[in-house]
Amino acid sequence: MSVSALDAPHVRSATPDDIDELLRLRAHLLEDASSVDLPYAVTSPHQSASWREAYRGWLGKHLCEDGPVSVVVVPGTGRLRACATAVIDQRAPSPACLSGRAGWVQSVVTDPRDRGCGLGTAVLHYLTAWLRARGVDEIVLQTTSAAADFYRRAGFLASGEDLLFKPLRTAGKAPLT
């Protein structure tokens, strides 16, 4: 879908006042029944409460500083319509990323009522410009099969690498070995 500059959704940096809505939107990603096959998806009320408390604290820290994290939102009437996060990571240089500055895009979520309106594209464009302005050489992300076509249309390419996941500790449990 092509969106003209006049019709482009308003994207802005998130503020501490947005935290409750950011929690609501991210729950669509982590607690939706379609995410149950993801290794980090919520499987219990205790996990839900734990990630929400941890995310609230993380947002409280990062929304109040000008650092390597940007959380952006598309506001609506009385609610947020979409959000996304970018984190700048300093990695070892590679041919595709000579500076080692890589941007991780994560938690791109559009409220189900607003899907198909170009909001995911808008937050992705905003974060791409933010990352570029900070000297980032590449953007990486992980996706679900349901969202893979969206990212391909936005210019992302499959890396050919498998993303593996190993939790070192889980809420309320000792570290895993």
User: What's the pLDDT tens digit per position in 2-31?
Assistant: 445 557 899 999 999 999 999 999 999 888
CATH class of residue range 12-145:
alpha beta
User: What's the pLDDT tens digit per position in 79-100?
Assistant: 999 999 999 999 999 998 999 9
31 to 74, 95, 137: CA distances (angstroms): 21, 37, 32
Residue 162 has what pLDDT?
83
Residue 6 has what pLDDT?
56
Q: Assign 34 to helix, strand or coil.
A: helix
Residue 138 has what pLDDT?
95
DSSP 78-137: SSEEEEEEEEEEE---BTTBTT-EEEEEEEEEE-GGGTTSSHHHHHHHHHHHHHHHTT--
Please state, in angstroms and rounded to a whole number, the distance separating the CA atoms of residues 14 and 2.
25
Kindly report the pTM of this predicted structure: 0.88
User: What's the pLDDT tens digit per position in 143-169?
Assistant: 888 889 999 999 999 988 888 878 887
Q: How high does pLDDT run on average in the chain?
A: 89
Residue 1 has what pLDDT?
46
User: What's the pLDDT tens digit per position in 27-54?
Assistant: 998 888 666 567 778 888 999 999 999 9
